[in-house]
Structure 1
């Protein structure tokens, strides 16, 4: 789970992803009925926002973020 352990896996992707790179998240259809899915989604959005990623597309259970080159945001959230 990307949000587990304070988002450690997502933070590693952030470290490896170049500026203007994309991260695509797709959850299985079974998650749609999972009561915890809204909470998981909120955690993902909070983590990616803190890392200054921009959500550029969301369809059903697939989302695409772009890691923008935004030094001001990164300094603010460091």
Structure 2
């Protein structure tokens, strides 16, 4: 939805981030903890896993790149 469309329907659109760990470097440790939690080996193709290491807490600048069509989403409070 473009910024113009947001204004025309009086909708506010925001960018959110599901963060399961704080730093990108924690992705491997988080993956290990998931294996322990569900009692599976890391090489089990059917185990619970997060696809990609992008589930960490991002800065406002990083969140701005998630919405390139409306960079204000990451910096404008709702």
Fold shared, TM-score > 0.5 on shorter chain: no
Per the normalisation by structure 1, the TM-score is 0.29
Q: Which of the two has higher C-alpha Rg? A: 2
More strand per residue: 1
Per the normalisation by structure 2, the TM-score is 0.29
More helix per residue: 1
